[in-house]
Amino acid sequence: MPANVQLIDRLRQIPYFSHLDEPTLRLLAGKMVSAEYEPSQDLCREGERADRMFILESGEVAVFRPGKADVLVEIAVLQPGDVAGATSLFSQGRRSATLRARTPVRAWVLDHPTFQELFDQHPSVARALLASLSQQLAQGGAMVAHLLSQDFDPRYRVVVYDAKSYTEAFFRERNRHDYLLQFIGARLSLETVALAAGSKVVCAFVNDTLDEAVLKELRGAGVELVAMRCAGYNNVDLAACARLGLTVVRVPAYSPHAVAEHTVALMLTLNRRVHRAHNRVREGNFSLDGLVGFDFYGKTAGIVGTGKIGRCVTEILAGFGCRLLAYDRYPDPALAERLGLRYVTLDEIFAESDVITLHTPLVPETKHLINADAIAKMKSGVMIINTSRGALIDTQALLAGLKRGQIGHAGLDVYEEESDYFFEDYSDRVMTDDLLARLTTFNNVVVTSHQAFLTREALTNIADTTLENIREYQVGRRGSQLTNLVRVG
Ligand code: NAD
């Protein structure tokens, strides 16, 4: 296939080839062959002899590295224009990673013997390569000097697990202390813990595994600080952290408004059947049958947990003109006074509310707060909203309540077993979780994938607070000197 202009441009951006002149670049491009790969096909495998360079032309390629017990862990995704394996043109070592096509992929490939032949036949190639390499050596020397002058040590390296594109974008943008951020697409687990080696800080999220076994491995790898980039920490074994001497920090509040507004979005969507109306109109069906809702004005809302998020929800519902009942272990008299809210028992919330919304953390006392007994006490047709933690609701009991019509609507941003599915694209696979599958079949249930926090403001605050938490630890603050310490003892 003839060399194209984009390919020549791409080659020019590879540091080794930056000094090649136009005719030599064209010569090099002319030696490359186009190859196609099916989804799931390997372009190359970790451990095999490295004998080709790839330039991705179209599609996506996942990069896998061996984690714990040699299980392959996805660490990055290559996009069109990305280059892999350039050093294999010069020296044939072993591949350090497996490259696997995620989609149909087209790539330009140059193999080692072809490149060597070119190298031998054209002294201009050798001269240009030497010029590039000597420049890089000089730059490398300057960089090492810079790092040494900064007293570079592993405290500056932060391994960010379960990182999505939005995590990376906001953390990079807000990284004003210039940490060496390493984004790992995979969740923290026994299989991926080895990737934290050499770092004193790991940054984890709601569905990462931080049980005793993982925490032991983290400690063994030299980690000292677990920086949770979320408010909840029910997935962290705090007793094990205390035993191992690990410090845990979190982001106690990043935008209660984001979560509260999503909570109300679920209420209004369900009540006014926006999800069904939207689908109908797209199908050209403009009928209104089955879309009858109710006025929120004058209805009774039961808010369970009136902390930062519950308070924001209460304020919005007060604006709607709802009658407000609340339950909290620590009532807030000022809030009650200001909004005309009445603190009552949980049983009264269940018996009187038209809408029940959950805003307590998940702790042993709140697990399955909504169970078969609680549902039996509720008004027929009640709306239940959960944007807090999945296990506040016994899903089996919820399904039974929905089937017999006792529960009229359910809006769920969280689900007991969400860690298997939420945040990931499973659209080309079969859903094996029967409870989740059943939930998604009801026309009066809306499930969102733990997205209540997902606003620009919240993501900015999460990145800022997490990086500041790390900074505090790095400058030597310990224990209660850390603003957002999670007490482990
Ligand atoms: P918060 O700590 O400000 O408020 C929690 C409230 O629950 C407090 O008023 C506390 O007194 C009350 N509470 C605690 N234990 C209780 C118990 N056993 N019985 C009754 N009340 C109890 O927390 P917040 O910022 O309002 O967040 C609430 C929850 O929302 C978090 O724990 C987290 O699980 C969840 N959350 C979800 C998302 C999302 O994206 N879906 C985002 C952030 C937080």
Question: Could you report the per-residue pLDDT of 341-357, keeping only the tens digit for each?
Answer: 999 999 999 999 999 99
User: Within its chain, how far is the Cα of 388 from the centroid?
Assistant: 17
CATH hierarchy code of domain 256-447: 3.40.50.720
Q: What is the pLDDT of residue 150?
A: 44
CB-count exposure of residue 433 (10 Å: 0-12, 13-18, 19+): middle
Q: What is the pLDDT of residue 401?
A: 98
Single out the catalytic residue among 191, 217, 416, 418: 418
Q: What is the pLDDT of residue 155?
A: 53
| Low pLDDT (below 50) residues in the chain | 1, 146-152
Q: What is the pLDDT of residue 392?
A: 98
Q: What is the pLDDT of residue 323?
A: 98
Q: What is the pLDDT of residue 54?
A: 92
Q: What is the pLDDT of residue 456?
A: 97
**Are both 157-254+457-486 and 256-447 of the same fold?**
yes
Q: What's domain 157-254+457-486's superfamily in CATH? A: NAD(P)-binding Rossmann-like Domain (3.40.50.720)
In degrees and rounded to multiples of 5, residue 111 shows phi and psi of -95, 160
Give the CA dihedral 358, 359, 362, 363, nearest 10 degrees.
Answer: -100
The span from the CA of 409 to the CA of 443, in Å, is 9
Query: Hey, what amino acid is at 275?
Result: H
Q: What is the pLDDT of residue 140?
A: 60
Q: Is 345 in the pocket of ligand 1 (CB under 6 A)?
A: no
Domain boundaries, the chain: 3-139, 157-254+457-486, 256-447
Q: What is the pLDDT of residue 18?
A: 77
Query: Hey, what amino acid is at 286?
Result: F
Q: Is 306 in the pocket of ligand 1 (CB under 6 A)?
A: yes
Alpha carbon of 113 to ligand 1 centroid (Å): 62
> Which of 259, 258, 265 has the alpha carbon at shortest distance from 456?
258
Considering just the CA atoms, what is the radius of gyration of the chain in Å? 28
pTM over 0.85: no
Residue for token digits 């600080």? 225
Given 3.30.1240.10, 3.30.70.20, 3.40.190.10, 2.60.120.10, which CATH number is that of 3-139?
2.60.120.10
Among protein residues, the one with the nearest Cα to ligand 1's atom 9 is: 307
> Which of 285, 265, 279, 291 has the alpha carbon at shortest distance from 444?
291
Contact 61, 72 (CB under 8 A): no
